[in-house]
Structure 1
Amino acid sequence: MFDAFRLIFMQDIKLKSECRYFYRLLSGSESLSIFEKDRAWHVPEELDLHAMQKACEVLIGHHDFSSFRASGCQAKSPIRTIDELHVSEVPSSTYFPCMESNAYSIKSASDLPFSSTSDSDSHRFGLSNGGNNVGFGIRKRHRCYVVKVRARAFLYHQVRLIVGVLKSVGTGDLIVADVERILNAKTVTAASPMAPAHGLYLGHVKYDLP
């Protein structure tokens, strides 16, 4: 029984050609609504999107990711290739991750369907959206950021450790040069605290079938 399971598992690894994760962060001082609790990482501080995007560029490619490998990882090698890593700001929606995040990417806060600075109750709680209730339960004072990462394989907690570093860059606790320093340190003790699990979503798994 065990040998049969191991054979299936090993075949799964060989056939898998791509894996994609999303990580969702909500930035804003106001506490999360019941609709968002445990569905995103709440970051009270403002996040610098441009700095986070520049930090992503450091981590894309073929690297030794020992600094982004949690203790207990059983992978034989810390070498991994990240094919895609970026951060985008999207309208906060209780329908995430059902929607395709790329279709909702925005360039600035002014592109949001609701003003993030409005004090009216309808804007704060998303009670109106062009005559419908799509935004019900959403507190528009939060800005929503989604980290998208794609690779063939990941190390143990690699995505959450990466997000932890990106968040620190976004809040100004780290600068982009620190990300390269952390990567070159090749020890997880150099990284920022790991992001919590409740913002992580498995977005897509692709297989190369024989």
Structure 2
Amino acid sequence: MPFNHNDFYHPLLLRQVPQGARTALDVGCGTGKLARRLAVRGLSVTGVDVSTRVLDIARAIGPDGIEYRHEDGREATGRYDFITCVAALHHMPADAMAALRERLNPGGVLAVLGLGHPRSAEEWVKWGVLGPPVNLAARFAVHVGERLGGDPVLPPPPMKAEMPSMTEIRRDSAAQLPGRKIRILLFWRYLMTYRQAPRVPLSGN
């Protein structure tokens, strides 16, 4: 009974797109589902992933307007108004957040949907107490929907079991993304958002 926790939070991530955004980078894009949703909103989208298998699937699905690259998120080039990183940050070195920050245009937004080991009371309650029963209900609902609709299930990208604690995530992100905000979600996920300072116009003499 598949239920993709990352896909569930795509609408939340899409709400973080800054007004007037034109370009987006999806780090750890997998088979491109979020990249396609960003493209539907009119953004020029680049997706990067270290797995050639999922990139081949993403390219086969299309559309042709999305650029997919086989590279690590820290190697990405260019500047973007919106950067997403879904369940990929714990695959990357601790300094990856600073590298992604450098790829933001002034006023751009970085939105991370991440995983970490719980440390605070809120994390233990949401992930250890509330998460399992809600997850079971969601899995059942998805199972019923798939039986009725017959939609194909795409293979998941490679996963990594090891991940940092939320204490480490808070510490490292505070140093690399000053002013970032972290929100604890259900389904063992957190949302971290960071907005790059806007360009200050030069005053005339």
- TM-score by length of structure 1 reads 0.21
- Which one has the bigger helix percentage? 2
Larger Rg: 1
Higher relative contact order (CA 8 A, sep 6+): 1
- TM-score by length of structure 2 reads 0.22
